[in-house]
Amino acid sequence: MSCSKLQGDAELQSRTAGEFNRFEVMQPRFPMRTPPEQRNGARVKSADVAPSGVYLPNNNMLAPHMRSPEYVQLSTAAAVTLGIMSARMHRCECTRCLNLLLTYPAGCRANCAYCGLARHREAERDYADRNFIRVDWPAVPVEQIVDIVARDAANSPFHRMCISMITHPRSDADTVQVLRAWTARIDPQTIPVSILSNPTTMSREDVVRLKELGADIFTVALDAATPAIFDRTRGKGVQSPHKWEKYWEILLIAREIFGAQKFGAHIIIGMGETEREALELVQRLVDLGGHSHLFCFFPEKGSLMDHLPATPRDQWRRVQLARYLMDYAGVRFEQMRFDEAGRITDFGLPRAQLDAVIDAGIAFRTSGCPGKFREDISACDRPYGDSPPSDIASFPFQPDARDLRRIRRQLGIPVIRADK
């Protein structure tokens, strides 16, 4: 049986002569200094406007004084699915994950270079008005969200709920409060809960408490694939407090407390790592018993990396496919081959098997914590969180035949015709 060794393929050779997001290119801007009177949500705190129900971002009003645990923000897709906002989503009826984000007037105190929520934006935009993974996040009382879902949790469109912590002195305590408010009325067996953690402020006791309160999966947004990229985009390089070692400390504690298949890490592809480096990390997570959830780098408007190129689709598709093979098809990093620039040249699987995985399309869907369809289909579909609908990176739905033809072109893996 022929292997999926692609180096003989002329189409692939011309593709690998192209570019990818190299480390030297993916240098964030340095954050500007915020005037003291605009720091820590001072405008919102001093105006102290009382919130009233749902707050829709960017409506030319001063954001009211909203904070967790009474308030959280939720993705536009989740707000539409809940019926709090009306909008049409391109080729999607709903999202299967209710993503909740803690909120404070001072916002996140970290400064991650790729993130729209980062601290350096405080002079420009109130926290509740900042875009995050390409979309607006309305702020809604937690009680209102729980009320809606609790009416009929068993038939809810949501297969999972996720609390995203941010870097704030109150976020550990308030995550506990939001989780308690949810589990008091919604059985976590009916709609399981994930925690997207903020290791910088967390201890072992925090991880244990979340597990005891009913959280199902614990993930760490490592985001950067290597220590150097981590430091440059989330640490000292941008005056941000995060440390690679602390993230790994909490990840390993989560492994111990939550157990195999119940922990994982987020990785953003295209921030300067090679494909080889990204997949070495994926294999390390697999070997630990965890999963990796991939995001395609997109230059978020207002972030310190908004001048940089989105990940080329060929780079993204190769890593997306390889990660799926490692997470769900038992292929190991050592079976794969790479060129001198670290790009995949061989997925380590016989061509017929590789074709079958590509044609199934699941490898190209958004990756994340599982829902109720199958283990390898994420509840967290994040519609258009890492690309515009015109050039989809992570498919929030099952790719159709046309999508798959485009994916194959991006991969440089044409269909082998039977008459050849």
Residues at the contact surface with ligand SF4, assessed by CB under 6 A: 108, 110, 112, 115, 117-118, 166-167
Choice between 63 and 110, CB closer to ligand SF4? 110
Say how far apart CA 230 and CA 212 lie, in whole Å. 31
- The DSSP line for 67-132 is -TTTEEEE-HHHHHHHTSS---BTTBS--SEEEEEE--TT------TT-TT-GGGGGTS-GGG--B
| Least distance between ligand SF4 and beta carbon 71 (Å) | 16
Choice between 69 and 371, CB closer to ligand SF4? 69
Choice between 108 and 279, CB closer to ligand SF4? 108
Sign of CA dihedral 349, 355, 358, 359: negative
| Least distance between ligand SF4 and beta carbon 130 (Å) | 9
Half-sphere exposure of 328 (CA within 13 A, CB side): 21
Choice between 117 and 251, CB closer to ligand SF4? 117
Q: What is the three-class DSSP state of 283?
A: helix
| Least distance between ligand SF4 and beta carbon 349 (Å) | 34
C-beta atoms surrounding 15 within 10 Å: 20
**Regarding beta strands 337-338 and 344-350, do their DSSP bridges make them parallel or antiparallel, or are they unpaired?**
antiparallel
Contact in structure between 98 and 85 (CB atoms under 8 Å): no
- Maximum Cα–Cα distance across the chain: 73
| Least distance between ligand SF4 and beta carbon 236 (Å) | 14
Choice between 194 and 345, CB closer to ligand SF4? 194
**Regarding beta strands 217-223 and 263-269, do their DSSP bridges make them parallel or antiparallel, or are they unpaired?**
parallel
| Least distance between ligand SF4 and beta carbon 341 (Å) | 28
Choice between 366 and 410, CB closer to ligand SF4? 366
| Least distance between ligand SF4 and beta carbon 29 (Å) | 15
